[in-house]
Amino acid sequence: MKKNMKKNRRKLLRKRKPNRSIGGDIGIYILLILFGAFFALPLVYSICTAFKPLDEIYIFPPKFYVKNPTMDNFADLFNIMGQSFVPFSRYIFNSVFMTAAGTFGNVIFCSMGAYVLSKYNFPGGKAFFAMVQTALMFSVYVTQIPNYLIMTKLGWIDTYLSIIIPAFATPMGLFLMKQFMEGIPDALIEAAKIDGAKEGRIFVRIVMPMVKPAWLTLIIFSVIAIWNNRAATFIYSEELKTLPYALQQLILGGVSRAGVGAAVTLFMMIVPIAIFLMCEGNVIETMASSGIKD
C-alpha cells in the first residue's frame, strides 16, 4: 500500500510539468540563487564575526569578511565559563535535556491529538480545533503570566517540568500534524482494523511512518524554540539554568566581550542548523505534499 501511494505521488508530480521555456527556467534559477545568497548573508556574517579580533569588530566602516581570523573569542568564552562556580557542562546538560524531553513529548502528544482530530468525528471536535487555530494568533509573551500562575499552583517553579511540560502541547504542532494526517486514506486504517490491528498498533506502525516528514518538521520547530529558551521566568536556581541564559550573561560584560558575544551567537546556532540539515529533505517533502490535492 505504501509503495502504491509513493508511485501515485510520483506520477502526479511528473504529470504537473511546468509550461515554461528554457530561458524562463534559467531566469527562475538565477532568481532562486540570488534569494538564496541573500538569505545566507546573516549566517555567513555571523560565522565571520565569530573569528574576528576586537580591532576588526569595531573597525569603521565595518567589514563583512574577516582579514585575520583568530580563535581567541572561543578561547575567552571557555575560559570565562570555566571560572563559573557552576560547571559549563551543567548548563549544556540542562539545555540538552530540556530540549530532548520537550521535543519528544511535543511530537508524541501533538501526533496523538492530531490522529484523533483528523480520523474521528466526536462532539466538540471541530470547536476544539477552532480553539487551536485561534491559539496560533497568540504570542508566547501573552501567555507567560497565566503559565506562571499555573506553574506556581502546581509547584513546578524552579524545576525542569516548568519548561518541559508546556512544550508538550503547541498549537502549531497540533495544526501541522492534523493537516498532514488528513491526507492518509481512511480505507488504509479501516483495512488495518479488519486485519485485527489495535489503535495503538495502527498509530505506531502505519500512521507515524506515513507522516514522518511532518513530525521531522515539527522536531525542527520544537528544537529551535526550546533550545533558545532562556527559562529565566520559571527557573531561578543557577544549577538549573539553561545554556542561552548563561551565555547571555557573558555578553553583558561590556565592550571587551564583544568577541565572546560573537562566539556565543555562533555556538547557539550550531544545534538548530545541525537538526535542520539532518531533516532538510523531509521538510521539503512536507511542503511539497501539503500543496498536492487529489
* CA 243 centroid distance within chain: 17
Question: What is the sign of the dihedral through the CA atoms of 48, 100, 168 and 287?
Answer: positive
Candidate from 91-105, 176-190, 226-240, 264-278 with smallest mean pLDDT? 264-278
Q: Is 8 a domain residue?
A: no
Q: Is 150 a domain residue?
A: yes
Last residue of a domain, one of 47, 70, 93: 70
Q: Tens digits of per-residue pLDDT, 84-139?
A: 777 878 888 999 999 999 999 999 999 999 999 888 888 888 888 888 888 888 87
Say if residue 113 is in the same domain as residue 60: no
Say if residue 106 is in the same domain as residue 181: yes
Q: Tens digits of per-residue pLDDT, 160-169?
A: 999 999 899 8
Say if residue 131 is in the same domain as residue 262: yes
Q: Tens digits of per-residue pLDDT, 210-260?
A: 888 888 888 888 998 898 888 888 888 888 888 888 877 777 766 677 788
The predicted model scores a pTM of: 0.76
Domain extent for 61: 21-70
Q: Measuring CA to CA, how many Å separate 267 from each of 63, 109, 227, 243, 244? A: 21, 30, 12, 10, 10
CATH number for 234: 1.10.3720.10
**Rounded distance between C-alpha atoms, residue 219 and residue 214, angstroms:** 9
Count: domains in the chain: 2
Q: Which residue has the cell 506520477?
A: 11
Say if residue 45 is in the same domain as residue 158: no
Say if residue 61 is in the same domain as residue 91: no
**Rounded distance between C-alpha atoms, residue 261 and residue 293, angstroms:** 47
Say if residue 216 is in the same domain as residue 113: yes
Crossing angle, helix 258-290 and helix 212-227, to 10 degrees?
Answer: 160
Say if residue 191 is in the same domain as residue 55: no
Q: Among 205, 219, 204, 210, which Cα is nearest to 283's? A: 219
Which set of grid coordinates corresponds to residue 80? 570565562
Q: Is 267 a domain residue?
A: yes
Q: Which residue has the cell 557542562?
A: 89
